[in-house]
Amino acid sequence: MRGDARALAAGAWKPALAVLVAVRVAIPLVALAASGDQLPGLPRYRYDGLTGDATGFYATSREFIASFAKLGKAGAAALVLAVAIAACACAWLVRTRRLPLHLGLIGAVAAVMLGVTIVVTQMTPSGAAVFGWPLVWSIPMLPLRAAHHLGPRIAFGVGLPIALAANAVTVVATAVIGLRATGRRGIALAAAAAYALWPVLMGLVGGSRAWGNGTWTVDAGLAMYTEPLSTALVAVAIALVLAPRLGLLGASCAGLCSGLGALTKLSNGFLAVIVLALVLWRCGRERALVFAAGALAFAPAVIAYWPKGYVPVLDNPKSFPQTPFSASYVWSSWHDSYLFSVRTLLVLVPVALVGALALEWRYALLVLGVPVLFNAAFYSFFANTAQHPRFLFVSLPALFVLWVTGATALAELVRRRRRAPVPA
């Protein structure tokens, strides 16, 4: 049974989701407030400024802001004016009903991203392999940089609400995915609860080692890494394409989320191609073309940033392995993983497989299962997966829906057997 709009608007649904969102946001805030202290059920966290890849993301955000000046005052003003005129023209065409809303939305975003791409061409490499998170992070930084009030500590304060908001969006998206895939609010809320409590559950499932190498801070949103935004974008895209009747506006929004997701994390681009194929199969050519148009609105920025992101990183043996992909990494990627070790996989995978078998809507099974399997297979061959389980975080919302579906099916099977009459 599939979820519908009336189930999404049910009165008891919203308070439960609000509580789960509050829990997910409260966990990192409590850890931050108790910086340096050991809290029960959580790793010891101390704020030490921006560390690891966050320094590269911060530097790239500053470089993007500074690159406006490289265009010159006249050039920067002309660029902003041209983008504003193009976006306003799309809005006017939509308002006068000369352009459908979904095409106007894609057109406006494409205009903005073309302007962003022009600025990107002026940037110098700053240490970030991908550009999506630095771009989003730089937007609220812009007035602070103009007022000369920007530093790492202030940047952390600016980025933290964005990361926490992304995690909150993922909680809601996980619930919508569960409801639309199964039609059962209990499963939907349980899956959302699993994601909301994951910062605590990962220690129980994977042991204290699961918190290592910054895995916990990245998941909680305290590290200023790409994962919260990346996971939220992919989860929203999946929730949208699972709509009982996917409209053109929903297809365009799903495509836009997928495009920004690819700009945030390149492997999300492969997931977008998989989802596009499934949309084409289920909804036809028109929805698939709209989805593709939305995703391609971000393609110019992805292409323009490539020589400033991954190319310098690939050429640096200290930051990237000389042989990044190899079949020899498959065993260590899981056996030596900080989080997704054999212990964690035994907890998650068998029950999720039962959920896949129990899921009645085959399209939903493909939308949930195929991206999860591809993401796991892709990073199985990557050299750094064991040390950085965060690469697999994007699969968690779909995995939790499948796991809760499987746990529910097993519980119902046990209940039916207990109620079955005993033969004489």
Ordered DSSP codes for 221-261: T-S--SHHHHHHHHHHHHHHHTSSS--HHHHHHHHHHHHHH
In a domain, 411, yes or no: no
| Nearest residue to 276 (alpha-carbon basis) of 260, 289, 267, 261 | 289
Residue 10 has what pLDDT?
54
Residue 414 has what pLDDT?
86
Assign 55 a pLDDT band (cuts: 50, 70, 90): very high
Q: Residue 3 above 50 pLDDT?
A: no
In a domain, 316, yes or no: yes
Which of the two residues, 57 and 8, has the higher pLDDT score? 57
Compute the distance between CA of residue 392 and CA of residue 385 in angstroms, rounded to an integer.
8
Assign 242 a pLDDT band (cuts: 50, 70, 90): very high
Name, in order, each residue with C-beta under 8 angstroms of 355's C-beta and a sequence gap of 6 or more. Answer: 401, 402, 403, 404, 405, 406, 407, 408, 409
Q: What is the mean pLDDT of residues 275-301?
A: 96
Q: What is the mean pLDDT of residues 309-316?
A: 70
Assign 150 a pLDDT band (cuts: 50, 70, 90): confident
In a domain, 79, yes or no: yes
Which of the two residues, 311 and 55, has the higher pLDDT score? 55
Which of the two residues, 42 and 37, has the higher pLDDT score? 42
Residue 14 has what pLDDT?
84
Assign 28 a pLDDT band (cuts: 50, 70, 90): very high
Answer whether 0.85 is exceeded by the pTM: yes
Helix (H, G, I), strand (E, B) or coil at 382: strand
Which DSSP letter does residue 39 get?
A: P
**To the nearest whole number, what is the mean pLDDT of the chain?**
91
Compute the distance between CA of residue 294 and CA of residue 360 in angstroms, rounded to an integer.
30
| Dihedral class, residue 55 (left if φ above 0, else alpha if ψ from -120 to 50, else beta) | alpha
In a domain, 244, yes or no: yes
Q: Residue 213 above 60 pLDDT?
A: yes
Residue 5 has what pLDDT?
46
- Range list of H helices, 121-151: 132-146
Torsion sign across C-alpha atoms 184, 189, 191, 192 = positive
Q: Residue 4 above 70 pLDDT?
A: no
Residue 25 has what pLDDT?
97
Residue 233 has what pLDDT?
97
In a domain, 420, yes or no: no
382: containing domain: 5-406
Helix (H, G, I), strand (E, B) or coil at 325: strand
Q: What is the mean pLDDT of residues 389-401?
A: 95
Assign 182 a pLDDT band (cuts: 50, 70, 90): very high
In a domain, 412, yes or no: no
Q: What is the mean pLDDT of residues 371-376?
A: 92
Compute the distance between CA of residue 393 and CA of residue 373 in angstroms, rounded to an integer.
13
Assign 2 a pLDDT band (cuts: 50, 70, 90): very low
Compute the distance between CA of residue 103 and CA of residue 249 in angstroms, rounded to an integer.
8
In a domain, 421, yes or no: no
Assign 139 a pLDDT band (cuts: 50, 70, 90): very high
What is the tally of structural domains in the chain?
Answer: 1
